[in-house]
Structures are given as structure tokens and as C-alpha cells.
Amino acid sequence: MTMSDLMDKIKKQLDQAGIKHEFTKLPDDISMEVEAHMKFHGRALKFAMTNMVLKTEKGLVVIQKRGDTQIDNKKLKALLNIKRLSLASEDDLKKFGLAPGIVPPLGYDIPIYMDKRVLEQEEVYTGTGDRLFTLKLSPDDLIKLNKATIGDFTKLEDTQSTGRVLSGIRATGKLHLGNYLGAVKGFLELQNDPNYQTFYMVVDLHTVTTPYDEKALKESVRNIIIDYLACGLDPDKSTLFIQSMVPEHIELAYLFSTVMTVARMQHLPTFKEKAKQYPENVSMALLNYPVLMAADILVYKAGLVPVGIDQEPHLEIAREIARKMNDQYNLNLPEPERFATAGEYIPSLTGEGKMSKSIEGSYINITDDLETIRKKIRSVPTSSEVGGEKQGGVAVLFSLLEAFTKNSPEEYKKFDELYNNKSLKYVELKDFLAEAIYEELKPIQERIKILEKDTEYVDQVIKEGAQKARQVASETLTEIKKAMGIDYDYN
């Protein structure tokens, strides 16, 4: 059954039953995350009803729950009278013409179970089988059609987990403009929100999975801590630490590797790309990169990870590991979700791809002076003509202009109108943009100079950050080792 067939089936069933409902078209660029959909509708997560196809030793079941709840494995296993529980595979879903993560609320020939908390809402928003449509209706009406069995098998999300945020930046030198706009500004936003507990690391262990300069690594790691502080990350509000100084990450990664197959890891497109890029350096560390990333996240029981969409395959591995560990060892690790922040994708100055230090001429360092920034911005390729669709380097310029005129939108509007009127002089836009970038980076650069001299303070931040991170990480590791039966105490 194709997705369009499922959509037609759902509409027909609802119409024939006289059930009041509403289909809403979602933006084409909306992410797959439940949070993004509810933000679009302007409703809380408790109004979202998610649908999951699970596999048991007795066959498949459909689980319907609220977006603000987690499945309690013990309760669900008792309700279903089963011992094994896992997500249905792609092959299982193909029988219904479905893709992972896109599951309609009815139209199955398999048992459906709805958690009782869904019934607390007068209306719910749920998927349809088509990524770009949402269905709104009452849960009571839905039960009339799908004949779901009502059960008590969820708990409200652990706010300590869902409110925990973990992210980091690879130790490849000082931060560039893409890091600042695409990551650090989002970090700051979350740090200053009392609903979140934030952990930000310098990712040195991931850095060594591909060729690197070992002599420059130590300096790069320290520079990123300094850049974090200069940009406004506050060690009193966020835990700032270096990944390798928390050995629990490595130990947990090994334990997680016991539930993942080599075949699964080799299948990842990111591994294939890196293996092709570094054919002489296809190491076990590279293969296990996503497992270590899962350990980075889950050792803090972080429910939210502010990273780019390119990291979604790795996050799916983290979710898969969480599910397997929960199923096999009766744990309750959260299934982390990508947290999209404004400006998460910063285009390259070349006009192609993402800003990256691996591409010469692609980036601006946050320590670049005005002349250097002006030179780099002037080198952005533009057309000899003005007007029409913004593409290539022109799109890059306007993307950066939008990012640096948040507090003066009239400036963006002025250049946009000049462009549409075909009277824009690119050199004027480029020089204005260079000045705007430098003005925002200038106070950061001044703070960097101060911090570089204050070695005692930076050392203290690094040491205390590691201690704070280890306090949380060691609790999680101890819990997991106990569940796995390797918590020996011979004292």
C-alpha cells in the first residue's frame, strides 16, 4: 500500500464514519521531529499523538502515545504479555508501504494499543502516513475506527533527561563563523533558558578518528574552550568540558558496542564517505564513531542534541542503542532528538555546500580582522546581473546578511529591495556585510585576548568542567553496569 493509498484510506474511513477531522499541510522543509510539528501548530507536546510499529515475539503491534511521554518497557511488556520488544525493521514497514518514522494512525491488520494518557486530550495531532500532512481529531473518535486497546504503559518524560542538552565541536582549531552562527549562538540560547541543563564539550576523541596533527591538538582543544567562554558560554550555567577528560564516555561506548553489529555500522553513509575520503585510515575508531557519539549523549541522559541535519543518521544510531539497551537490560535511557536551532546550516563562501575548515576559502575565522573579513567576503562569487532568484554566492551573501541584521531588519530590507529592483551594487552589499560581521565579532575577539592571558582561570574552567561532567556520567555508567551484571564489589 502506497502512502497516497493510505491517505485516501484514512480520509475515506473518517468521512464514512462522519468523524470531524482536519488535515493540515506542513511546510516542505519541516523536520521529522514531533517538536517541530507542534511548534508549527502552536501546541504543546501533549497534543501530539505519535504512532510506532513495534516487533514482539508474537508479531507486530502498533503503539499510540502522547508526544510528552516515554514508553515504560516493563508496563508495556506486561500488558502485551511478551518478553521481547523492539522497533519494527524497514522490511517490516515496507509491507505497509511505510518508511521509518512516518506511520499513520489507522489502516492496519495488526493490533493497536493506545496509552490512556492520549484520552486526556480533547483533540490530538497525529501523522497520516505522508510526511507533509497532519491529522487533527479527537482520540475518542479515532478509537471508533481503529478499535485500539486502551492501556497504561507510559510515563511522563523525565524532565531531567528531556531538559538536558549535549553538544560539542570537533577540535580542529579555532571556531569559524559557521561554528558561531550554526552552533554556539544556539548553545547560548539554550544556556539562558531555565528549562534546560546544558553540557557543551570539545570533541577531541572524535577528532582522532581521521588524520590529525597531534602536536596542534592540545592547543586546538584549549582554544575552543577559550572561544566558548569569549562567545558567552558561562561555566556557572553550562558544563564546559573536554571529551577525553571524562573516561566514562569511552567505557560506555564499549558497553554500547556489544548491542551493535559491524554490518549495521558499515551500512552508515557517513562511514562510507569517510572511508572513501581516508582509504588508508579506515580504523575501528572510525567505524565506532556513532557508538561513541551515542555514549557522549546517553551518559548524560540528554534528550536533546543541537546538531545539524547531517548528524541525523548518527542520532538514529543513538536512539537504536537506547532502545536495545532498554529492551535487553530494563533501562530507561531517553531516545535523543535533534534540536534544530536558528542558523544551523551556514553556507560556504564558495557558494557551494556548508562552511567548513576542510575547504579553503570556505570560511571566516571568528578571530579574523576587518581587512581579512572584507577580503574573504569580496571573494564570494556573484553574477554580473542583479535580480531574479538568489543562487550560489548571492544566496550566501543574503543568508549572512539576514544573520547579521537581526537587530536592524530594515538594512536587510533595503538591500533586498535594491536587488529586486536590479539596482544593487554587490561591492556595497559585501562591504556592509563585512563591517556587520566584524562589529559582532570584535567584542568576542577582545575577550579572547584577555582569556588567552588568564591561564589560571581557563585551567580552572577545564578542571571543574570535567569534574561536573564526571559526576553525572559516573552515575549513568554505574546504573548501566549494574543492569548488565558487571557491577562487582569486593571491598
Give DSSP secondary structure letters for 162-222: HTEEEEEEESSSS-BHHHIIIIIHHHHHHHT-TT-EEEEEEEHHHHTTS---HHHHHHHHH
Classify residue 193 as exposed, middle or buried by CB count within 10 Å of its CB (0-12, 13-18, 19+). exposed
How far separated are the first and last CA of the chain, in Å rounded?
Answer: 61
Share of the chain above pLDDT 90, in %: 45
CA distance readout (Å), 240 to 169, 202, 218, 246: 11, 8, 16, 12
Per residue in 448-483, pLDDT (tens digit) is: 999 999 999 999 999 999 999 999 999 999 999 999
* Band (50; pLDDT cuts 50, 70, 90): confident
Between strands 48-56 and 85-87, the pairing is antiparallel
Is pLDDT of 378 > 80?
yes
Rounded CA-CA distance 76/454 in Å is 55
Q: Which has the closest alpha carbon to 402: 353, 459, 336, 346?
A: 346
Confidence category of residue 16, pLDDT binned at 50, 70, 90: confident
Distance (Å) of CA 304 to CA 171, 187, 199, 419, 466: 22, 12, 11, 39, 20
Which has more confidence, 346 or 366? 366
Q: Are the C-beta atoms of residues 128 and 10 closer than 8 Å to each other?
A: yes
pLDDT in tens, 202-238: 999 988 877 788 889 999 999 999 999 999 999 989 9
User: pLDDT confidence of 341, banded at 50, 70, 90?
Assistant: low
Q: What is the pLDDT of residue 6?
A: 64
Q: What is the per-residue pLDDT for 435? A: 96
Least confident of 130-139, 275-284, 374-383: 275-284
Residue 342: is its pLDDT beyond 70?
Answer: no
Residues above pLDDT 70, as percent of the chain = 93
Q: Which domains does the chain have, with CATH numbers?
A: 3-156 (3.90.960.10), 159-343+456-484 (3.40.50.620), 370-453 (1.10.240.10)
Provide the pLDDT confidence category of residue 54 given band limits of 50, 70 and 90. confident
Give the residue carrying C-alpha cell 568576542.
Answer: 444
* pLDDT for residue 63 is more than 60: yes
Q: Is 126 helix (H, G, I), strand (E, B) or coil?
A: strand
C-alpha torsion sign, points 385, 387, 391, 394: positive
Distance CA 252, CA 292 (A): 8
* pLDDT averaged over every residue in the chain: 86
Q: What does the DSSP assignment read for 315-378?
A: HHHHHHHHHHHHHHH-------EE---TT---B-TTSSSB--TTSTTS--BTT--HHHHHHHHH
pLDDT digits over 98-116, tens only?
666 666 777 667 889 999 9
Fill in the amino acid letter for 172: T
Specify the pLDDT at position 157: 61
Q: Give the per-residue pLDDT at 299.
A: 97
| DSSP per position, 262-275 | HHHHHT-HHHHHHH
Residue 120: CB partners within 8 Å, gap ≥ 6? 46
| Site of grid cell 486497546 | 149
Q: How large is the average pLDDT for residues 310-315?
A: 82
Q: State pLDDT tens for residues 145-178.
A: 888 999 999 887 654 445 889 999 988 878 999 9
Q: What is the pLDDT of residue 159?
A: 45
Nearest of 132, 130, 125 to residue 22 by alpha carbon: 125
> Closest by alpha carbon to 114, among 152, 155, 77, 75?
152
Taking CA atoms, 98 is separated from 134, 157, 482, in Å, by 16, 27, 38
**Residue 194, pLDDT above cutoff 50:** yes
